[in-house]
Amino acid sequence: MTQQTGEFSESVMFINDVTDLEVYVESLRLMRVLYAFLKKVPSSEYDTVRQCKKCTKSIPAQLAEGFAKRFYPAEFKRYLMIAIGSSDELVTHLKLISIAVPHLANEALKIGEEYRTLSKRMNRLHQTWGAKSAK
C-alpha cells in the first residue's frame, strides 16, 4: 500500500519530501486557483476573502509541518486533521461567497467541490498512514 494514496500497487513508492505527497501538490495547485477566483470577489466581502486566504495557506503549511514529524504517525495524523479542518472551513467560506455574490456562485461551488475532494484524499491518507502493507 502506498502511503501517498492509500491504494495497493505492485511498485514501491518512496516519499522522501513533502512535495512527494499528492495532497500537498494539489493543495498548492488549488491555492493558485482560489487566489485567481478571490480577485473577482467584491471588496464588500473582504473578511470572507481574508478567511479564505488563511485557510488555503494553512493546508500546505500543516502538511509540511506534519510531514516533518512523519516518523511519529500520531503526530503526523494530528497535522493532517488540522489541514482537513482548514479545507472544510474553506468550503464553508466558498458557500458563503456563493450566497453573498450570486454571479460567482457556480465558480465558488466548483472550487469548493475541489477542496472537498482534497479533504477526502487527506482523510484517506490519515486512515492509511502508518498502517502495515497487506497483499
Q: pLDDT tens digits for 28-54?
A: 999 999 999 999 999 999 999 999 999
* 96 in any annotated domain: yes
Q: How far is CA 14 from CA 1, 19, 27, in A?
A: 11, 12, 20
Q: Structural domain tally of the chain?
A: 1
Higher pLDDT, 15 or 91: 91
* 12 in any annotated domain: no
* 10 in any annotated domain: no
Helix axes 73-100, 46-67, angle to 10 degrees: 160
Among 1-5, 34-38, 43-47, 126-130, the range scoring the smallest mean pLDDT is 1-5
* 4 in any annotated domain: no
Cell of 57: 495557506
Q: How many CA atoms lie within 13 A of 29 on its CB side?
A: 11
Largest Cα–Cα separation, the chain: 55
pLDDT at 132: 57
* 7 in any annotated domain: no
pLDDT at 13: 59
pLDDT at 12: 41
Q: Give the CATH number of the domain where residue 106 resides.
A: 1.20.1440.60
What average pLDDT is seen over the chain?
89
* 46 in any annotated domain: yes
Give the structural domain span for 84: 18-128
Taking residues 99-107, report their average pLDDT.
98
